[in-house]
Amino acid sequence: MSDDTIRARIRDLVGDGGAGAAELVGRIVASFLNRAPDLIDKFATAAAAGDAADAAHWAHALAGAAGNVGAIRLARLAASAERDALAGGLAHGRGALDAAFAEVRADLTAVMHDLAAATPR
Amino acid sequence: MPEQPLVLVVDDEVTTLETLAYQIGRDFRVMTAENGIAALAVLDAHGPFAAVVSDQKMPGMDGLELLEKVREKHPDTVRVLHTAQTELSVAVSAINEGKVFSFLCKPCPTDDMRRTVREAVEQYHTVLAEREMLERTLQTSLHALFSWMEMVNPRAFARAERIRDLSQVLCRELDLPYTWHIEVAAMASQLGAVTLPPTVMERLNRGLPLPDDEQKMTNALPEVAARLLHGIPKLDEVVDIMSALRATDPRRPDLPEEVPAAPPTPAVSVLRAAIEYQALVGRGVTVEGALAILERSPDQDPAVLEALSRILGGALGSENVRAVRVNELEVGMRIAEDVISVNGVTLVGRGVRVSATLLERLIEVKRNAQVAEPILIDVSTEETADV
């Protein structure tokens, strides 16, 4: 499921823009892959410190970033963590987020690999 | 080749911002901001922007608040809300409060994003084009209206031009912005005179006492002008100035006491002084006499009168008049005395600057030997000639 939405989103972004578009989208994906672990860390740190507002802020950022590359499952998990934090619940561990992100990374890597192979240079 | 329109995208999530810049950047120039405060600063510093695409949930200022501020400060910029929040309340607020052009859900497909921004930019251009057309239409209509006044009542037109020029000099002296509203209000201040019978106009010009019925007609002149202008798009401010002039007009003893006596705006004070001054000198009162009368009037603003005194102080004694034939007239010269036909009809009022059209008309009349020559023109310096 996650793979489908990610693949659809990346295809949508690249469109018929050719190698140039694929390269630009590749940079956006790389930016997300670099940033997401940091967002999960910040969320977990804030949650551990009992800072609900900060935890909600980082969870929201993660949800937005994940949704942007079509990683819907990760985006939903992050949005749920944000809602819980806003409701005062900080029980959300990072385990589920880490696991979901690992899947997203694998999916994105595969999609970008396929895209690179299919794009004429 | 014209520059591509500028679009601002606002999102606190940096990868989303990069994606939007990539999606929209194919068709338009794009600038980015990571929050509402930064967005407003970018709009102020780099505008005009055709459209702004904003995230809803951002720390500090949310998207709706930002778009509301954009609407206030940059009303032409078309606003698009781009949000992951799908609550009906957000959409309703976006439309009702933010008056957004479109509402996009995240993640937005590229085609939808590009189409929406393209439509937003088209909307921006449509609004600008409509306004430009309205302004051109308004300008042309006003020109036609005042040209008609010039034909029907040259003296009233000439007085209106003198009031306009004096208002401009007064604004400059007082360091006030001289807006087109003041210019139109100055010209329109004499518009009602076209309804006066020539005999009444003549008595008025000479400062002769008027019978009650004629005084009533004269008192109604500002209402006539206000009625003529009322309802014309974009002239609300001019009508407001006219109404403020009328409300405390010292020549209106018939005004009800409950007329609101709000403090006059600087534009009203300037026009009031210019109109009264020109009315007095038009009746033959000397410059010094007119100033003394105005200074005794409680309706005049002392600061405006001081400025008027400074201006006229420079003009006193500098009048310089030359007599010319019609064929010696040049565009830009100012008529120093009414130009009359051989049978006594006023053709051009004192104070009017010679335009190409006016020159053509006088040459035509002259061909039929109808112009009383010589014509007196004011050749004093430009500063003083203006008053």
Describe the crossing of helices B212-219 and B221-229 by its angle, rounded to 10 degrees.
30
Task: Name beta bridge partners: B33.
Answer: B10
User: pLDDT confidence of A45, banded at 50, 70, 90?
Assistant: very high
Among the residue ranges A61-65, B136-140, B246-250, the one predicted with the least confidence is B246-250
Q: Which helix (H) or strand (E) holds A44?
A: helix A18-48
User: Cβ A64–B18 below 8 Å, yes or no?
Assistant: no
**Which of A7-11, B130-134, B311-315, B380-384 tops mean pLDDT?**
A7-11
> B residues 199-258 near A, CB within 8 Å?
none
Q: Which residue has the higher pLDDT, B378 or B160?
A: B160
Min distance A31 CA to chain B CA atoms (Å): 7
The neighbour count for residue B93, using CB atoms within 10 Å, is: 19
For residues B108-132, give the mean pLDDT: 93
Contact B13 A24 (CB under 8 A): no
Instruction: Name the residue with tokens 């004694």.
Output: B317
Do B107 and A67 count as a contact with CB atoms less than 8 A apart? yes
For residue A24, give both structure tokens: 């630009």
Which of B66, B75, B18, B14 lies closest to B48 in space, CA to CA? Answer: B75
Determine the pLDDT at residue A108: 93
Are B107 and A9 an interchain contact pair (Cβ–Cβ within 8 Å)? Answer: yes
Check whether B148 has a pLDDT greater than 80.
Answer: yes
Domain boundaries, chain B: 6-130, 153-316, 320-387
Mean pLDDT of chain B: 82
Closest residue of chain A to B108, computed from CA coordinates? A68
Which pLDDT score is estimated for A2?
56
Given a cut of 80, whether residue B318 has pLDDT beyond it is: no
Neighbours of B278 (CB within 10 A): 26
Q: Which of chain B's residues have a Cβ under 8 Å away from the Cβ of A17?
A: 26
CA distance B10 to B24: 12
> In terms of pLDDT, which residue wins out, B383 or B191?
B191
Share of chain B above pLDDT 90, in %: 28
pLDDT of residue B381: 42
Q: Confidence band (pLDDT; 50, 70, 90) for A106?
A: very high
With an 8 Å Cβ cutoff, is B109 touching chain A?
yes
Question: Are the Cβ atoms of A13 and B110 closer than 8 angstroms?
Answer: yes
**Higher-confidence position of B139 and B300:** B300
Say whether A13 and B57 touch across the interface (CB within 8 A). Answer: no
Fold of B6-130: Rossmann fold (3.40.50)
> Does residue A118 contact residue A16 with C-beta atoms inside 8 Å?
no
User: What interface predicted TM-score (ipTM) does this complex get?
Assistant: 0.86
At residue B363, the pLDDT reads 87
- State the average pLDDT over residues B174-196: 86
Q: Per mean pLDDT, which of B71-75, B178-182, B229-233, B330-334 is the most reliable?
A: B71-75
Q: Say yes or no: B112 contacts chain A, CB-CB below 8 A.
A: no
**Which residues from B are below 8 Å from A57, CB to CB?**
59
- For residue B258, pLDDT over 60 is answered with no
Interval A4-19: pLDDT, tens: 899 999 999 998 776 7
How far is the C-alpha of B335 from the C-alpha of B351, rounded, in Å? 5
Closest-CA residue to B382 (of B322, B339, B318, B337): B318
Q: Among A17, A28, A57, select the one facing B59 at the smallest CB separation.
A: A57
* Three-class DSSP labels, chain B: CCCCCEEEEECCCHHHHHHHHHHHHCCCEEEEECCHHHHHHHHHHHCCCCEEEEECCCCCCCHHHHHHHHHHHCCCCEEEEEECCCCHHHHHHHHHCCCCCEEEECCCCHHHHHHHHHHHHHHHHHHHHHHHHHHHHHHHHHHHHHHHHHHHCHHHHHHHHHHHHHHHHHHHHCCCCCCHHHHHHHHHCCHHHHHCCHHHHHHHHHCCCCCHHHHHHHHCHHHHHHHHHCCCCCCHHHHHHHHHHHHCCCCCCCCCCCCCCCCCCHHHHHHHHHHHHHHHHHCCCCHHHHHHHHHHCCCCCHHHHHHHHHHHHHHCCCCCEEEECHHHCCCCCEECCCEEECCCCEEECCCCECCHHHHHHHHHHHHCCCECCCEEEECCCHHHHCC
Torsion of CA A104, A105, A107, A112, to 10 degrees: 130
Query: Between residues B112 and B133, which one has the greater pLDDT?
Result: B112
Q: What angle do CA B361, B364, B366 make, to 5 degrees?
A: 110
Q: Give the HSE-up count for residue A14: Cα atoms under 13 Å, Cβ half-sphere.
A: 22
pLDDT (0 to 100) of residue B242 = 84
CA B20 – CA B30 distance, rounded (Å)? 9
Non-local CB neighbours of B89 within 8 Å, separated by 6+ positions = none
Q: When comparing pLDDT for B211 and B75, which is higher?
A: B75
Centroid of chain to Cα A64: 8
- Mean predicted confidence (pLDDT) in B271-284: 84
Q: How much is the average pLDDT of B40-60? A: 93
- Which candidate from B12, B15, B109 shows the least CB-CB separation from A28? B15
Q: Which helix (H) or strand (E) holds A103?
A: helix A95-118
Mean pLDDT of B314-329: 67
C-alpha–C-alpha distance, residues A30 and A109, integer Å: 9
DSSP type of residue A46: H
Under DSSP, the state recorded for A34 is: H
Chain-chain contact of A68 with B15 (C-beta, under 8 angstroms): yes
Examine the pLDDT at B317 and tell me if it is beyond 90.
no
B289-310 average pLDDT score: 88
Flag if B13 and A61 touch (Cβ within 8 Å): yes
> Given this model, what pLDDT does residue B194 score?
82
Among B15, B23, B26, select the one facing A32 at the smallest CB separation.
Answer: B15
Percent of chain B with pLDDT over 70: 87
B107 touches chain A (CB under 8 A): yes
- A32 chain-B contacts, CB cut-off 8 A: 15
Domain boundaries of chain A, sorted by first residue: 2-118
pLDDT, residue B387, reads 43
State the smallest CA–CA distance between residue B12 and chain A in angstroms.
8
Which neighbouring-strand residues pair with B6? B29
Record the tokens describing residue B98, joined without a space. Answer: 């933010």
B 261-280 residues with CB below 8 A of A?
Answer: none
Lowest mean pLDDT among B89-93, B98-102, B238-242, B279-283: B89-93
Classified by CATH at the fold level, domain B320-387 comes out as Molybdopterin biosynthesis moea protein, domain 2 (3.90.105)
Ramachandran category for residue B4: left, alpha or beta (phi over 0 → left; psi -120 to 50 → alpha): beta
Q: Which amino acid is at B59?
A: P
Structure tokens given for B337: 């005395």
Residue B248 has pLDDT above 90, yes or no: no
Chain A residues interacting with chain B (CB cutoff of 8 angstroms): 9, 12-13, 15, 17, 24-25, 27-28, 31-32, 35, 57, 60-61, 63-65, 67-70, 75, 79
Q: Residue B246 pLDDT more than 70? A: no
Nearest CB to A68 within list B16, B26, B109? B16
For the domain made up of B153-316, give the CATH fold. Hypothetical protein af1432 (1.10.3210)
pTM: 0.62
Q: What is the Cα–Cα distance from B110 to B256, expressed in whole angstroms?
A: 65
pLDDT tens per residue across span A57-77: 999 999 999 999 999 999 999
First to last CA, chain B: 46
Q: How far is B92 from chain A (nearest CA, A)?
A: 22
Tokens describing residue B63: 């998207």
Choice between B213 and B61, residue whose per-residue pLDDT is larger: B61
- Cβ–Cβ below 8 Å for A17 and B109: no
